[in-house]
Amino acid sequence: MIDPHVHLRDWNQQSKETVEHGISVAWRAGIDGIFEMPNTDPALTSRQTIEQRIAEADKAIRELGISFFHGLYAGITQSREQIEEIVRAHQELFPRVVGLKMYAGHSTGNMGIIDEEAQRNVYRILTQLNYQGVLTVHCEKESELKPKLWTPENPFSHTVARSPEAEVCSVKDQIQFAQEAGYRGTLHIAHVSVPETLVAIEEAREYAPCRITCEVAPHHCVLYDELMHEQDGIFLKMNPPLRLKSMQEQMLQALIDGRIDCVATDHAPHTLRDKNRQYASGIPGLPFYPHFIRYLRERMCKEDIERITHRRIEEIFEIQIPNSNRHPEYDLAGEYEFNAFQIRKL
């Protein structure tokens, strides 16, 4: 199995997660490779930080004594010079640099490129540079967010402040901007959580100049917004947020029906203090992954599960990672101060 969307923190956020620990948990969860996101501190937006991260991951894998693939995304900024640098890094360091990542809205790390013209320009530059790799986008349109509706005393308000429309509108924007620029790479939409988003992607595949793919996180397939009314509901705060139960059920069915390309945990751990006092967004997804796979086995055949957890990811990123088919450990919740999935059993 491959997890193409994890946040390993480390560096200035070692209290949340480290590369070595995250890889260790992924390995015990039965995963053979991970793709790390760039919103670290400092961010993976330069050749120097990228090479440092690769070296540290290699050291961790050696010390763990395992066979494991660590890839990472190079983060996109608004600077043409920076984009040129990381496109070169992708060309020269692939497959360790698996693709590029753009945040079309602020999330943890504040790497958002929220201006629409700046987003358009990213696609223009990538097209001019003949970039044909994967561009993964976190899609939440800033102008559709309603931060004034968020209040920590009511965790559920987070789901209202970051509405489904924010995701749908942002995805439609990215498709439009890619089409206008004639972008020829792969546009990969991260953590799709709204059925309407999936419809927009499916329709765009009929005319877009680029390949469009998408992923879904386990939590958007099994958890829903009303759970945030319960005790410790703040632990379920994430971006994009949990949705209506009807949407959650539709996303699960879409995955089962083969409409979604792959599964990605969006593993994003924080400390208990960060969740309770700073109201950080993100949950630890790796320890729950084996439970989700077991849940899918009751609803999907082995071949289809292998497709959405491994083969399709290899196809999208044009990377080959051996599938060990190891038996995962199921009780990994104790690896973190909290595990949001313990709140609700499947």
Please write the tens of the pLDDT for every residue from 62-107. 999 999 999 999 999 999 999 999 999 999 999 999 999 999 988 8
Cα separation of 193 and 219, whole Å? Answer: 9
**Ramachandran class of 232: left when φ > 0, alpha when ψ lies in -120 to 50, beta otherwise:** left
Pairing mode of beta strands 33-36, 2-6: parallel
- Quick one: pLDDT at residue 176? 98
The CATH number assigned to the domain holding 102 equals: 3.20.20.140
Confidence label for 331 from pLDDT (cuts 50, 70 and 90)? confident
Residue of 16 and 337 predicted with greater confidence: 16
Where do the H-state alpha helices sit in the chain?
Answer: 19-28, 47-64, 80-93, 116-128, 157-161, 164-181, 195-204, 219-222, 245-256, 272-277, 289-297, 302-306, 312-317
DSSP H/E element including 327 = none
pLDDT score recorded for residue 334: 82
Q: Is the dihedral of CA 251, 256, 262, 267 positive or negative?
A: positive
Each residue of 257-290: pLDDT tens digit? 999 999 999 999 999 999 999 999 999 999 999 9
Secondary structure letter of residue 329 according to DSSP: P
Per-residue model confidence as pLDDT tens digits over 204-239: 999 999 999 999 999 999 999 999 999 899 999 999
Residue where the block lists tokens 């509901």: 233
Which amino acid, residue 319? I
d(CA 318, CA 334): 35
pTM exceeding 0.95 = yes
- Indicate whether 340 pLDDT > 80: no
Separation of alpha carbons 93 and 195, rounded Å: 35
Residue 153 tokens read as 């005393």
138 forms beta bridges with 103
Per-residue pLDDT at 346: 54
Identify the pLDDT of residue 343: 53
> 101 pairs with which residues across the strands?
75, 136
SS3 label, residue 101: strand
Helix (H, G, I), strand (E, B) or coil at 263: strand
Interval 134-189: pLDDT, tens: 999 999 999 999 999 999 999 999 999 999 999 999 999 999 999 999 999 999 99
Residue 236 in tokens: 């379920």
Nearest in space to 125 (alpha carbons), one of 92, 80, 184: 80
State the total domains in the chain. 1
Q: 264 lies in which domain range?
A: 2-343
187 membership: H or E segment, kind and range? strand 186-189
